[in-house]
Chain A
């Protein structure tokens, strides 16, 4: 069966009345679940497994694909409106999405995110249709040495988050990395820094840190502003974009859809790395880098396009090899097994209806979500009109539910509060929180892949030099770290000189 026949088969499955209805129900349910901070695609799909029990496998998959996409769309809403990212790949969405919402442009921010997600989703599904079988070999091309290089590349990019002081950004990142070392070490089984507490054996959960540092810390500034009349005018829910704004998001969205897809193919941290790299690289490419972090359109569109694109990318190893590349696809794999379908390298030839049905449902799911979400934006944005005191209480409650829904444990709730306090002081003392989170996410994986490589090579560092992909990435990583610092230093010198002159002339 060639691609053309395949996709026709797929659309026959997905475009049937039943198929459309199921994708629609899935998309709505997923959006609703995703909007709750802390509940992301993983939970949404896990919830669907018992419901799909006994359904036709192709239909069940349509439902889950719909839920998956819906949850990714919905997740952007809590990131933008409440600064509460529900999963690691939507963290960069908060960087510019939340400032935009604070400026009273919540509707616009949600519209940009929906459109960028739609474009990213669609471009990546087209790539998936055309190249899925070919890309299977790309998916397994990365060994520990290459992963180490990729993580290093991502990690050294922290310097570009430095708004004021590079030292503070680096300190923040180092501490994030340190937090990642808590728990049982993968390569030796040694327990590190758990102080005898069983709750720390598996390390600190991502959500605890993200919701603490971002959402809870932000609650404090909401408290200070609680008496101010809400600044949001009638434009709050408006999703109109000007021609210039569309132009501004076009480039980043297109570029990052492509790059996001490629990174998403790699099993591991695809979506997270894709969205962080998208944000960082667009900041470097932008003509207005100073707007990043303060409500930049490019800064919002880039990670949203990248993470949706990477999500479809992660279906490449799942559908072509049976390798789940992310937590979400791992749950999907489990769901498929329950349905009596064992995903593996032969899925495409033995169950073409399922393979192509999923791909076709992605096209349809994307369209449905865009059509569904755009009209809802004005209503969703209204959450910001909830009186401040009540909104503050609700944000706190949702953070707690989000964490409890993952860990089922009060200990993690105390940790959440602790990170909220840490985040509060970091904001006061001008330490950026993003590098801490980035280093926490990438650091753990980087350490493990470094040590895996060295175990395999019997301790020889040569393993990083003899692999061309690894070597290239490492070189780029160091250049991208050192060049901006040097440039910064020169710029600062010029600034200082001009300041001196000013003082001298006084």
Chain B
């Protein structure tokens, strides 16, 4: 009898366990991927979006955070617009994509019908900041000196960046200049998309270079250029980087974050969103991802879904105001 009872209880336990398993699998409150997840990099191989997507997929698999396979697919074109249309068309929790400020700027410039509101922000992982650099022998030693001269004689100072007006390199500079009181409609901005922007600064064709912090480090070390200001809230850490003054500490109240995070399709199922939010949190906290961040010199900037949505809404408002003032908004 005793034996029977114990066997019986094991059976009951098993049965209950099986049932509860069943109910979680078929219920609405949790979600698990059942096939390969596709992460879209809205650009060709080799760039920031592609690297982030591939590295995330790699760490997800290596550290067994997600059991399913993850594939990275490149969808270049239209500064991201082609990929956004693709994700919108798929509308499946198995298609995610990686993005950054162009997701706000490209639609604001009227180059894509989809805005971030047409997607579900899952979580942000990393941040990069802008740097404003001049030639090492330039007369300016800080942002205020530069902006004073720009107010007096805007025609004599040209700014170069690697993207067209209305996109990141332009807007990050305009954002800081405006906070310093420069008339932003008088800024002379030149775009060089064939990789010649730094060359133009080095040979004196232009006076100012608007770029990412990482691109300036080696040139600063070699004494070719100097960085007048960066757009982070506080000073960065690391050799050379810690010497870069922020715009804020120079009394210019402006910051610009080149955020990078992951998105899903519009109106993602709450269960699927919870699942991914959890997994990206695990990714962000993993050792492997910390190694990736260090390798590429990316700063950590984690935001969960809710924080991300608030942040993006705020950012969009700011960008739109700038573009409207420039007459670039659509």
Chain A residues within 8 Å of B, Cβ to Cβ: 42-43, 46, 49-50, 139-145, 147, 184-189, 191, 198-202, 267-269, 317, 321-326, 330-331, 334, 337-338, 340, 342-346, 406-409, 445, 448, 452, 455-456, 458
Contact A199–B158 (Cβ < 8 Å): no
Contact B193–A201 (Cβ < 8 Å): no
- Shortest Cβ distance from residue A333 to the other chain B in the assembled complex, whole angstroms: 9
Stretch at the interface among B79-87, B142-150, B280-288: B79-87
CB contact between A323 and one of B44, B81, B198 (< 8 Å): that residue: B198
Contact B46–A334 (Cβ < 8 Å): yes
Q: Name the B residues within 8 Å of A189 (CB-CB).
A: 109, 164-167, 328
Contact A322–B190 (Cβ < 8 Å): no
Contact B155–A201 (Cβ < 8 Å): no
Q: Can you name 14 A-B pairs with beta carbons within 8 Å?
A: A139-B199, A140-B202, A143-B200, A143-B205, A144-B196, A186-B191, A186-B193, A187-B190, A189-B165, A343-B218, A344-B219, A455-B188, A455-B189, A456-B206
Contact B79–A202 (Cβ < 8 Å): yes
Contact A201–B190 (Cβ < 8 Å): no
Chain B residues within 8 Å of A, Cβ to Cβ: 44-46, 51, 54, 73-79, 81-82, 85, 109-112, 155, 158, 164-167, 188-196, 198-200, 202-206, 217-219, 221-222, 224, 295-296, 328
- Shortest Cβ distance from residue B293 to the other chain A in the assembled complex, whole angstroms: 13
Q: Name the A residues within 8 Å of B111 (CB-CB).
A: 184, 191, 198, 201
- Within the assembled complex, what's the spacing in Å between the Cα atoms of A331 and B196? 15
- Shortest Cβ distance from residue A480 to the other chain B in the assembled complex, whole angstroms: 24
Contact A202–B76 (Cβ < 8 Å): yes
Known contacts: A46-B46, A189-B109. The answer to whether A445 contacts B76 by CB under 8 A is no
Identity of the chain A residue whose Cβ is nearest the Cβ of B160 in the assembled complex: A452
Contact A452–B192 (Cβ < 8 Å): yes
- Shortest Cβ distance from residue B133 to the other chain A in the assembled complex, whole angstroms: 14
- Within the assembled complex, what's the spacing in Å between the Cα atoms of A198 and B164? 16
Q: Name the B residues within 8 Å of A139 (CB-CB).
A: 199
Q: Name the A residues within 8 Å of B217 (CB-CB).
A: 342, 344
Contact A201–B196 (Cβ < 8 Å): no
Contact B196–A345 (Cβ < 8 Å): no
Contact A409–B75 (Cβ < 8 Å): yes
Identity of the chain B residue whose Cβ is nearest the Cβ of A335 in the assembled complex: B46
Contact B196–A267 (Cβ < 8 Å): yes
- Within the assembled complex, what's the spacing in Å between the Cα atoms of A462 and B190? 18
- Within the assembled complex, what's the spacing in Å between the Cα atoms of A143 and B15? 77
Known contacts: A143-B205, A345-B222, A346-B222. The answer to whether A267 contacts B195 by CB under 8 A is yes
Contact A344–B74 (Cβ < 8 Å): no
What 4 A-B pairs come out closest when comparing CB atoms?
A344-B218, A345-B222, A143-B205, A201-B78
Known contacts: A140-B203, A408-B74. The answer to whether A338 contacts B166 by CB under 8 A is no
Contact A452–B79 (Cβ < 8 Å): no
CB contact between B77 and one of A331, A409, A445 (< 8 Å): that residue: A409
Q: Which of B44, B194, B224 has the most CB of A within 10 A?
A: B194
Contact A448–B199 (Cβ < 8 Å): no
Contact A186–B164 (Cβ < 8 Å): yes
Contact B79–A184 (Cβ < 8 Å): yes
Q: Name the A residues within 8 Å of B155 (CB-CB).
A: 458
Q: Name the B residues within 8 Å of A338 (CB-CB).
A: 295-296
- Within the assembled complex, what's the spacing in Å between the Cα atoms of A342 and B109? 34
Known contacts: A189-B109, A337-B296. The answer to whether A323 contacts B195 by CB under 8 A is yes
Identity of the chain B residue whose Cβ is nearest the Cβ of A459 in the assembled complex: B155
Q: Name the B residues within 8 Å of A187 (CB-CB).
A: 164-165, 190-191
Contact B205–A144 (Cβ < 8 Å): yes
Contact A202–B77 (Cβ < 8 Å): yes
Contact B218–A406 (Cβ < 8 Å): no
Contact A201–B81 (Cβ < 8 Å): yes
Known contacts: A189-B166, A343-B218, A455-B190. The answer to whether A406 contacts B77 by CB under 8 A is no
A-B contacts besides A201-B79, A445-B194, A455-B158, 16 pairs, CB < 8 Å: A140-B202, A142-B199, A143-B200, A143-B205, A144-B190, A184-B111, A198-B77, A199-B77, A201-B77, A268-B194, A331-B46, A334-B46, A346-B218, A346-B221, A408-B73, A452-B200
